[in-house]
Chain A
Amino acid sequence: MDTRELIERLQLKQLNQFKHRSIDGVFISDMVSDTMARARPGNLWLTMQTYKSIIPAANLVDVAAVVVTSGKEVPAETVELAARYAVPLLWSELPTFELAVKLHALGIG
């Protein structure tokens, strides 16, 4: 599945413009250090951390997209960085657990 289909199927909000890419696995963490150590390229990274550091971290790991969960408000700085680094930034009202369950039901990861 790619990010375009994911957004449609799960009604995710798209916070910046980006080129769609395919998703390979799901990674969940609210810690940047944990993510840099363990996430894999192409992962869909679910987090409720909205501090702008998630963007360079996401970029280094080369995740397919960052999904901010739990309806968290994303600061403008984070969105700006996402645009600058061209990191796909998505958003969902759903809490992390509920979103993970839906992703699994779609067969991702």
Chain B
Amino acid sequence: MNMRMIREALEASVIEGEDQMELPVEHVYASDLMSDVLAFGKPHSVLLTGLATQQSVISAHMAEFRGVVFLRGKKSTDGARRFARDHRLVLLSTGFDTYEACVRIEAIRKGTPAGPEAGADPRPDAELSLSRDFCIMGGDYANAGSVSTEVKSILKKIGLDPRLIRRIAISTYEGEMNVVMHARRAKARLTVTPAMVQVTIEDQGPGIPDVELAMQEGFTTATEEMRAMGFGSGMGLPNIKKNADEMRIDSRVGEGTSLEMKFRI
């Protein structure tokens, strides 16, 4: 199954990615909960969602989806369209609702045997030792996700294993979102050595009063400030812990937080 067949099945219009319709699709993921897409989405899936926002497209990108379908005739935002274009994701729009979309896709899928994925990414020889610095500004929702996207891009050029890149991208994204949501500003550093990738994010901000508590799965803080941001006050730390080989947090209340994530190559 590929994006073209999905487009046909859903009588969808192509918002972005007209030149990528032959991309094979291995799974279908129907969800309006982006935290779920990030945590459980499989690579080379297509996302069916009624949440027509940029964050849906970013989440799909982080989870290495092929594309996103906005359902129920929901209009795409400019941000969503731009991100899809910049990161080569197919973006479709259809008037069908979720159930109808699932049924139609299955009908088309049944008609074809699942094919092998078209050609793996070539692995060019590249330097395996580099260091890059980035800046993340607190409150900058318009650019939220840009650093992790850049990190992903760099690692892809190096030719690292796609599954490793995905874990690094997701972890970096979680750390980046924490800065955008909770801190004033941060410096992020990507370091690649022959054995390891390290991403460190050092921010100036309120700090985390009780790191151990924050690490608990499902724990959410209830301070007025964090609630005020409206994105939900969880910090995605359990998700980072799940994806990184090593994780270290140092935090001083009133000063800031330093997050160090290591990934073995």
Contacts and interface: CB of A to CB of B under 8 A. Distances in A.
Interface of A: 26-31, 34, 38, 46, 48-49, 70, 95-97, 100-101, 104, 109
23 contacts: A27-B99, A28-B97, A28-B99, A30-B31, A30-B32, A31-B50, A34-B72, A38-B97, A46-B99, A48-B31, A70-B40, A95-B29, A96-B30, A96-B102, A97-B27, A97-B48, A97-B102, A97-B105, A100-B30, A100-B103, A100-B106, A101-B103, A101-B106
A56 to B, nearest CB: 18
B33 interface: yes
A48 B103 contact: no
B31 A100 contact: no
Given A70-B40, A96-B30, A100-B98, 6 more contacts: A27-B99, A28-B30, A28-B99, A29-B50, A48-B31, A96-B102
A35 B78 CA distance: 25
Interface string B90-126: 0000000111001101100000000000000000000
Contacts of B72: 34, 38
Main secondary structure of the interface of B (DSSP, over half): mixed
Q: Which 4 A-B pairs have the closest CB atoms?
A: A30-B32, A28-B98, A100-B102, A96-B30
Contacts of A96: 30-31, 98, 102
A94 to B, nearest CB: 11
A104 B51 contact: no
A30 B48 CA distance: 12
Contacts of A46: 99
Interface residues of B, number: 20
Nearest to A28: B98
A20 B94 CA distance: 34
Main secondary structure of the interface of A (DSSP, over half): mixed
A47 to B, nearest CB: 9
Contacts of A38: 72, 97
B31 A109 contact: no
B51 A26 contact: no
Nearest to A26: B99
Nearest to B32: A30
A97 B28 contact: yes
Contacts of A48: 31, 33, 36
Contacts of B102: 28, 96-97, 100-101, 104
A104 B72 CA distance: 19
B103 A104 contact: yes
Contacts of B31: 30, 48, 96
A70 B36 contact: yes
Nearest to A31: B32
B72 to A, nearest CB: 8
Nearest to A43: B99
Contacts of B28: 97
A34 B29 CA distance: 18
Contacts of B99: 26-28, 46, 100, 109
A29 B32 contact: yes
Interface string B220-261: 000000000000000000000000000000000000000000
Contact of B98 (A29, A70, A104): A29
Interface string B74-89: 0000000000000000
Given A100-B102, A101-B103, A30 B33 contact: yes
